[in-house]
Structure 1
Amino acid sequence: MARRYDPERRERIIDAAIRIVELKGIGALSHRTVAAEAGVPLGSTTYHFAGLDDLLVASLEQVCGGPRGAMKDWEEVLAAQAQPVAQGSAAEGPGPQKRRPLADVLTDLMEEYAHGGRGRIRLEYELYLAALRRPALQPVAAAWLDEMVEVIGRHTADVATARVLVALIDGLLLQLLLTDRPFDRRAVRSTLARVTGET
């Protein structure tokens, strides 16, 4: 009997891997658990992904990128609302909306991200930090970092400031996950403003 062609099977396998990592962590990921979660034969997972690193790379690419994921949203919001730090004063944006300080817009984005579900943040950071021990993930994680720096850097005086902001955002979000405390808008805004030089 001929095998039925299923063009969406690869995507279902990736989605299943993402669900497993989100709910149980990378330690629970295996070809067997992914096949069961995706509802596909075990051979399908090894057909599409020779090793778990291949599956993790595809998962990280989808989480970080598909299509460019959360960074696309951040890019659009920053372009529409944030005044470049170098300007130093509120500038008119497109339409009647005034541009706001970068620290305010970044705080809004982080708060929205945090309220979107800690499971999703946990998933993204678990995949991102897995690159520390899995070299196959490092290019994807580095590209994610570079993209964040590029997007935020369009609104800072220089690339160095953008890099510090990205590191700070990562640190604040990781602390949020580790402590399970509520998002403290005032503290986050104040911390970001110290880097941007805004009051």
Structure 2
Amino acid sequence: MPRRYDPERRERIVAAAARVLERRGINGLTHRAVAAEADVPLGSTTYHFDGGEALLLAALERVNSEWLEWFGRWVAEAGAAPSVADHVVTLLDDWTGPRRASAELVYGLYFAGLERPALRPLAARCVDEMVRLARPLAGDEAGARAFVGLVDGLLIQLLLTGGPHRPEETRAALARLLPGTGSRPRPGTG
């Protein structure tokens, strides 16, 4: 029986790997789980990805691509918001509320680079691209890097602690870091 050629199989496997990551996390990403999710034979996953790390890298590239596409749209929409600070407040509320699972996936993969050096270059490229995308909001590269660092830091703290988001603190932090993006602190409050 001749082998069937399926040019889209690799992409289906990568999409399935991203779904497995979202549901089971990094430790749940196995060739067997991905094959079942993609509805392909196990041999197909090992044919396209020779090891678990190769499969993880491909899934991470897809997750990063989706995240950066979303972030680019978010930056483009900032002009319609009353202020950059208000736009950041909405982002934090969204990513700690209805999109929390996606945020946990993105940051889980981001931090996986601490233990898996092969993931670091991909994580670094993601951060660099976020900085490039954020330049219109922050003026220059240094401001954009500070902006991305602040938003990342606030989101990580909220995800880890489960604490309440305090929009006024977010606005004040942005105003101090990048004047003109947030509300100014009132005299005697900062």
TM-score by length of 1: 0.80
User: 1:48/1:162 Cα in 2 relative to 1: closer, same or farther (>3 Å)?
Assistant: same
Deviation of 1:107 (Å): 2.5
SS of residue in 2 equivalent to 1:132:
coil
- What is the match of residue 35 of structure 2? 35
Kindly indicate whether the alpha-carbon contact (under 8 Å) linking 2:16 and 2:38 is maintained by their aligned counterparts in 1: yes
Deviant stretches of 4+, over 4 Å: none
Matching of residue 136 in structure 1 with residue 133 in structure 2: no
Which segment is superposed worse, 3-12 or 145-154?
3-12
- Partner residue of 2:140 out of 154, 158, 169: 158
C-alpha displacement of 1:134: 2.1
Match of 2:188 in 1: none
Verify the 8 A CA contact 1:102 1:196 in the aligned structure 2. Answer: no
In the other structure, the counterpart of 1:109 is 91
Q: Is the 8 A contact 1:64 1:70 kept in 2?
A: no
Aligned-CA RMSD value = 2.1
Cα distance change, pair 122–156 in 1 and its aligned pair in 2 (3 A) = same
| 1:7 matches 2:7 | yes
Contact 2:96 2:159 (8 Å CA) reproduced = no
Deviations 1:41-84 (A, max 9, x none): 11111111112222122111111114942222123213x347xx
- Write the letter of the residue equivalent to 1:74: W
Partner of 2:56: 56
State the AA in 1 paired with 2:59: S
Q: Which residue of 2 aligns with 1:194?
A: 176
Superposition map of 1:10-89 within 5 A: 10-66=10-66, 68-78=68-78, 80-81=79-80
Paired with 1:189 and 1:67, the residues of 2 have a C-alpha distance of 23
Unmatched 5+ stretches in structure 2: 185-190
**What is the alpha-carbon distance in structure 2 between the residues aligned to residue 102 and residue 169 of structure 1?**
12
Q: Distance in 2 between matches of 1:115 and 1:185?
A: 14
Identity fraction in percent:
48
CA contact (8 A) 1:107 1:185 kept: yes
Q: Which amino acid aligns with 1:162?
A: A
Secondary structure in 1 matching 2:137: coil
- C-alpha separation in 2, matches of 1:128 and 1:110: 18
Instruction: Report the more deviating stretch, 61-70 or 143-152.
Output: 61-70
Secondary structure of the structure 2 residue equivalent to 1:13: helix
Deviations 1:84-108 (A, max 9, x none): xxxxxxxxxxxxxxxx433222323
Uncovered stretches (5+) of structure 1, i.e. residues with no partner: 83-99
Which TM-score applies when normalising by structure 2?
A: 0.83
